A and B are shown apart, each in its own frame.
Chain A
């Protein structure tokens, strides 16, 4: 029983980072931009937040957790939004190939994270020496009283504020996309930019706005991982392929942020399942780690069988738009 609860709690902990990435990518893809830069953006969000907190704590003798939290949050949001701006400029304004730009940003973002991670390690005095415990404590703070209730407290109230934010943002994103007028316009842009344009929607603005805000949300996933999950430290490449899981989750969720909530927890569970399955060797545990991707492929196959138009990817996903194209 305790193991089960621990498993669920850990699965949720794993899922939150993926959920941020997936929500951001859903908003981006709904505008027709297939941003494969998300894994890199999440690295950038993580390291920028960490650097913000690190230099803040370094600069003052008596750092306050709240200030550290706000600074790191703003740094993460700003840098990942900048990544989105770069992607939008290249793909929307210059109409470069979205896949190429996205992969380039991922490569860049991972390098960006590892480079600055290494740099501040050096300042901190060696690998594994970075610690922004003060700021991280603000991220790790759980809900008082409620989190002390047995079982339920651990299961429902034992997380930092970013975890709840991830779920709230996903719900808000769903509400925006499927209930709000601007969400309707955004979906129209991703389905058929020419039709959206003819209806008087500013395609460029929507694509930029969706991509930049999508990246900012995804960047929070990296910040969550660094601050709440790792507790305010850095280790190169430790974020791993969670960014790609986020991109895969978009497909599993059928471009619906509500599906991404339970999907992220399922992915998180599958991601750490190998630790809890007895009798696995180093070789067989790799096979278990593959399951999130296998599940995605199965869902992809099943939805293409059902062929329900609403469950398909945005029709113009990956294509750039130029009004006077003939």
Chain B
């Protein structure tokens, strides 16, 4: 039995800090099959694959390759076992050519390197599998799909017979994806075993032989693809409905607070991350933002906060009376995803961090620490922050306490619009509820709360309305009270257009 398995994982566990990214995961890849690994963001797909390819070392568990137990300590070990991974963020050296990237790090064949011979081999390899590649083109001159081709050839050239592709279609156009799938089918014909990580359900059904679903770091089940449907997969992926008991009041006198019109925002690489998004946000309500990570949530919040300049479109703010007012007259509070990088200064204490928002207040040339100190005390009390000493640097607090201070500081600005990104990521239940209650409190006070949350159960329970982003576009606006996880999930993956 075990001879037929290319890879088998037994009880593989990996911790990052206190959180288990993978918790006793079993997984098997049969020889000559395409296995899809499906799961939501943060379900541990990439971490698991990184352990097979030697980037991470598992804390617990066993890995078997072709039936033999192995210890994979580095990517080189993985290569020697015939395992090659195409990472979601390409591991290519920009200033080098395709050829140079492909030969990088491999031991010279007998008789030394003959670049001309390798060039011919690469061209032959790409013809075999139906790639197009210019071996001498520099990576920085390549499109994403060309870069991916280089990554795949790099892996094949090293003689890998087990291929892992991490969300290979995330950056491809549908035509490019089809082409890639044809290549993958061709590789399967050649006897390669392939794992493809994805969260696009139609791709799973299209390409894979079997599918393993991960949920919150655990294996949620494996099935033959031919027995599966989109609905069954969605259910496996999101799991059963969990009731959270978050108190949700009806919005009181919601009025138009902010209108986003035809908003297009570029990401850092100059590619549009948010495309022609239009929606309205109201006072006294929580507007949830759903979407697979990297669908433009970051760019949306940052452009509302004024941190990213929109390429196109407008963001208008309105007073309670419905009159348009200037951004500068609107108080916008922002709790970013990167709390210690963007929200707070990790090496400063609580008071100084609280003061970051009020440095301009106070008289005279010298900083006035008294008011911020009192405010910090107030936040600590109101949100029951556990802190041993007011003078310690904020990075030595736990994630939950850090988040409470950040949220407390932002709320103390008495915002008109409160932007929150992943407010409870990495937080325990109690801290999470403190945060949810505080968000509800703000809503009651008439604040327009815009909230990006990855956990759909929470999002459905706390929001009044939900907008769904898919690939940077608005794929739906839902009433949170009447919608459900499956529907949001399908909108997120772009399977269902808004009706």
**B95 interface contact, C-beta 8 A:** yes
Which of A198, A310, A312 is within 8 Å of B91, CB to CB? A198
The distance in angstroms between the C-alpha atoms of A310 and B140, with both chains bound, is: 10
Interface flags for B81-117 (1: CB within 8 Å of A; 0: not) read 0000101001111111000110111101000010000
Is B103 within 8 A of A184, CB to CB? yes
Stretch at the interface among A141-149, A185-193, A268-276, A291-299: A185-193
**B216 interface contact, C-beta 8 A:** no
**B317 interface contact, C-beta 8 A:** no
Instruction: Tell me, rounded to whole Å, the shortest Cβ–Cβ distance linking A307 to chain B.
Output: 11
**A196 interface contact, C-beta 8 A:** yes
The distance in angstroms between the C-alpha atoms of A123 and B147, with both chains bound, is: 65
Residue of B nearest to A192 (CB): B93
Residues of B within 8 A of A197 (CB): 55, 74-75, 91
Instruction: Tell me, rounded to whole Å, the shortest Cβ–Cβ distance linking B222 to chain A.
Output: 27
Most buried by B among A192, A312, A315: A192
Is A198 within 8 A of B103, CB to CB? no
**Which range holds the interface residue count of chain B?**
20 to 34
The distance in angstroms between the C-alpha atoms of A312 and B96, with both chains bound, is: 13
Instruction: Tell me, rounded to whole Å, the shortest Cβ–Cβ distance linking B80 to chain A.
Output: 8
The distance in angstroms between the C-alpha atoms of A324 and B75, with both chains bound, is: 12
Is B74 within 8 A of A188, CB to CB? no
Instruction: Tell me, rounded to whole Å, the shortest Cβ–Cβ distance linking A42 to chain B.
Output: 29
Residues of B within 8 A of A312 (CB): 95
Residues of A within 8 A of B79 (CB): 200
Is B94 within 8 A of A315, CB to CB? yes
**B16 interface contact, C-beta 8 A:** yes
| Given the contacts A309-B140, A326-B16, A200 and B96 also touching, CB distance less than 8 Å | no
| Given the contacts A184-B103, A199-B154, A324 and B56 also touching, CB distance less than 8 Å | yes
Is A194 within 8 A of B91, CB to CB? yes
Instruction: Tell me, rounded to whole Å, the shortest Cβ–Cβ distance linking B148 to chain A.
Output: 14
Residues of B within 8 A of A200 (CB): 74-76, 79, 105-106
Near A by CB (< 8 A), chain B positions 115-168 give: 138, 140, 154
**A181 interface contact, C-beta 8 A:** yes
Is B104 within 8 A of A185, CB to CB? yes
Instruction: Tell me, rounded to whole Å, the shortest Cβ–Cβ distance linking A199 to chain B.
Output: 4
**A201 interface contact, C-beta 8 A:** yes
Residue of A nearest to B86 (CB): A198
Residues of B within 8 A of A282 (CB): none
**A195 interface contact, C-beta 8 A:** yes
**Which range holds the interface residue count of chain A?**
20 to 34
Near B by CB (< 8 A), chain A positions 182-234 give: 184-185, 187-188, 191-192, 194-202
Instruction: Tell me, rounded to whole Å, the shortest Cβ–Cβ distance linking A321 to chain B.
Output: 12
Is B91 within 8 A of A201, CB to CB? no
**A306 interface contact, C-beta 8 A:** no
| Given the contacts A309-B94, A310-B95, A196 and B104 also touching, CB distance less than 8 Å | yes
The distance in angstroms between the C-alpha atoms of A187 and B93, with both chains bound, is: 9
Which of A185, A191, A192, A315 is within 8 Å of B105, CB to CB? A185
Residue of B nearest to A326 (CB): B16
Most buried by A among B103, B105, B106, B113: B105
Instruction: Tell me, rounded to whole Å, the shortest Cβ–Cβ distance linking B51 to chain A.
Output: 11
Which of B55, B56, B95, B104 is within 8 Å of A201, CB to CB? B104
Is A198 within 8 A of B140, CB to CB? no
| Given the contacts A194-B91, A197-B75, A198-B91, A187 and B96 also touching, CB distance less than 8 Å | yes
Is B55 within 8 A of A323, CB to CB? yes
Is A188 within 8 A of B105, CB to CB? yes
Residues of A within 8 A of B75 (CB): 197-200
Instruction: Tell me, rounded to whole Å, the shortest Cβ–Cβ distance linking A197 to chain B.
Output: 6
Is B91 within 8 A of A184, CB to CB? no
Instruction: Tell me, rounded to whole Å, the shortest Cβ–Cβ distance linking B301 to chain A.
Output: 21
Most buried by A among B53, B74, B140: B74
Residues of B within 8 A of A187 (CB): 93, 96
Instruction: Tell me, rounded to whole Å, the shortest Cβ–Cβ distance linking A147 to chain B.
Output: 40
Is B94 within 8 A of A191, CB to CB? yes
Is A324 within 8 A of B55, CB to CB? yes
Is A184 within 8 A of B100, CB to CB? yes
Instruction: Tell me, rounded to whole Å, the shortest Cβ–Cβ distance linking B49 to chain A.
Output: 12
Is B16 within 8 A of A191, CB to CB? no
Is A199 within 8 A of B16, CB to CB? no
Residues of A within 8 A of B56 (CB): 323-324
Is B55 within 8 A of A181, CB to CB? no
The distance in angstroms between the C-alpha atoms of A187 and B94, with both chains bound, is: 11
Which of B87, B94, B103, B105 is within 8 Å of A196, CB to CB? B105
| Given the contacts A192-B91, A200-B105, A184 and B96 also touching, CB distance less than 8 Å | yes
Is A184 within 8 A of B95, CB to CB? no
A residues whose Cβ falls under 8 Å from a Cβ of B: 181, 184-185, 187-188, 191-192, 194-202, 309-310, 312, 315, 323-324, 326
- Which are the 7 A-B pairs with shortest beta-carbon distances? A199-B105, A195-B91, A200-B76, A198-B91, A201-B105, A200-B105, A199-B104
B residues whose Cβ falls under 8 Å from a Cβ of A: 16, 53, 55-57, 74-76, 79, 85, 87, 90-96, 100-101, 103-106, 108, 113, 138, 140, 154
Could you list 26 examples of A-B contacts with CB < 8 Å? A181-B108, A184-B100, A184-B103, A191-B93, A192-B92, A192-B93, A192-B94, A195-B90, A195-B92, A196-B105, A197-B74, A198-B53, A198-B55, A198-B75, A198-B85, A198-B87, A199-B75, A200-B74, A200-B79, A200-B106, A201-B76, A201-B104, A202-B76, A315-B94, A323-B55, A324-B57
Question: 17 new A-B pairs (CB below 8 Å) besides A191-B96, A195-B90, A324-B56?
Answer: A185-B105, A191-B95, A192-B92, A192-B94, A195-B91, A195-B92, A198-B53, A199-B91, A199-B104, A200-B74, A200-B75, A201-B76, A201-B104, A309-B95, A315-B95, A324-B57, A326-B16
